[in-house]
Chain A
C-alpha cells in the first residue's frame, strides 16, 4: 500500500495522506486532478471496484468533501480519494463513463446535497424525494427538526427521555 502511494506520488500531484489501516488509505486530491488519477488506479493499479461515492458537509470550512472509495478485490485493499469542493458553488466532474454505477451516486448527491455533476445521466430526475422544494436535506444548514415540526402534524403528549438516565432510573433506582 505504501509503495502504491510512492508510485502514485511520482506520477501525480497528491495532497494529504491518511493511513487508516494497513490496507485502507485516504488521499486528498485537487478537483481537476481526480480524473487522470482515478482512471490510472482503475486501469493500471487494479482498483477496479467503486465501492461508494459520498459527500461530507464541512459547514464551518465552507466546503464539501467528496469521497471516492475504490477497492482492489484481489489484494484486498481500499483507497479513498478525497476531493474538496467549494460549498458556494459545488460542481464536480462526472465519472459515470468510468463506472456506470457512479451515475446513481451522483443523482443521490445532487438531490441530498445539491452537488452538481454536469453530464451525468438522469441527473435532474427525482431520486428518492418527490417534490422537494427547500434546501437539500443532507446539508447541515438544513434544520431537520424545525422542518419536521413545521411540515408534519404532531400528536400531543409525546415525551422524550434521555435513554441513559431513563434506563438507569428504571434498572438501578437506588443509584439516584
Chain B
C-alpha cells in the first residue's frame, strides 16, 4: 500500500481536522452493472453498425506488439479508412488492444484503464503471449491467459502478427459487433467476482479500489 493511499488525518486551513480514507473518499467503489441493449432491434442494429464503424482504440501499448500498431496509422496500411482511430484517453476509447505480453505490473494498469472505458467496450488480445503465454510461458511475471483477467472478444494470433493480420482482426471484430456478440463489458459485470479473484491472485499489492471509474 502506497503512503498516499493510507488513511490519514487532514487539517484544514481554519483548524478543523478530519479523516481521509483515499480509497473510499476519492474513488467510487460501486461494482459495475449489467447494461443490456435497451432499444428495439432496428435501433440496436443501427447502433451496432455505428459501433463497428467507429472503433476507437485506446493508445496504450502494453508489450512489444504495440510496435505493430504504429504502422497502421501510416500511409501504407492506413487504418483510418476502416473507421479505426486512436484516442489518448480511456474515457473516449471503446477498443482496448492488449498488444503482446502483459506483465503483472502492466496488468494492474491495464485493468484500471479497462475499467475506465465506457460500456460497450471491446478487448482484443494481440499475439500468442496473450493466448497461452507464447515465448513467455515460463516467465515469473507474465500472465499466460488473458481471458482469465479481462473479457476478450477476439484474439489475433502470431508472434508478432503483421499489421495486415491486425486489419483482418478489425474486420472480424466488426462482424462480431454487428452481430451483437461483443458484450464483454456485461460479461465482466456478470462475472465480476470471478475476474477480481483471478486478478487479485496475480497482483499481490492490490492498492486500488476493486472497481475504479
* Direct contact, A vs B (beta carbon within 8 Å): yes
Contacts of A132 in B (CB 8 A): 204
- In this assembly, does B99 line the interface, its C-beta being within 8 Å of a C-beta of chain A? no
- Report whether A153 and B104 are in contact in the complex, using a CB–CB cutoff of 8 Å: no
For residues 138 through 176 of chain A, which have their beta carbon under 8 Å from a beta carbon of chain B?
142, 144-145, 147-148, 151-155, 157-158, 160
Cα distance, A151 to B104, chains bound together (Å): 11
- Report whether A131 and B145 are in contact in the complex, using a CB–CB cutoff of 8 Å: no
Contacts of B148 in A (CB 8 A): 153
- Report whether B202 and A129 are in contact in the complex, using a CB–CB cutoff of 8 Å: no
Interface size on A (CB < 8 Å)?
20
B95-136 CB mask vs A (1 if < 8 Å, else 0) is 000000000110010000000000000000000000111000
- Place the interface of chain B in its size category: 20 to 34
* Number of A-B pairs, beta carbon distance below 8 Å: 57
Known: A153-B145, A154-B145, A155-B132. A148 touches B140 (CB 8 A): yes
- Report whether A154 and B140 are in contact in the complex, using a CB–CB cutoff of 8 Å: no
- In this assembly, does B203 line the interface, its C-beta being within 8 Å of a C-beta of chain A? yes
Contacts of A148 in B (CB 8 A): 137-140, 142, 144
> Chain B's nearest CB lies how many Å from the CB of A130?
5
- Report whether A130 and B105 are in contact in the complex, using a CB–CB cutoff of 8 Å: yes
- Report whether A137 and B141 are in contact in the complex, using a CB–CB cutoff of 8 Å: yes
Contacts of B198 in A (CB 8 A): 153
- In this assembly, does A128 line the interface, its C-beta being within 8 Å of a C-beta of chain B? yes
> Closest residue of chain B to A160, judged by CB?
B137
Contacts of B142 in A (CB 8 A): 148, 152
Q: Contact check: which of A145, A147, A153, A155 meets B131 at CB < 8 Å?
A: A155
Contacts of A6 in B (CB 8 A): none
- Report whether B132 and A154 are in contact in the complex, using a CB–CB cutoff of 8 Å: yes
- In this assembly, does B143 line the interface, its C-beta being within 8 Å of a C-beta of chain A? yes
> Chain A's nearest CB lies how many Å from the CB of B1?
10
- In this assembly, does A133 line the interface, its C-beta being within 8 Å of a C-beta of chain B? yes
Interface set of A (CB-CB < 8 Å, partner B) = 128-133, 137, 142, 144-145, 147-148, 151-155, 157-158, 160
Interface set of B (CB-CB < 8 Å, partner A) = 104-105, 108, 131-133, 137-145, 148, 198, 201-206
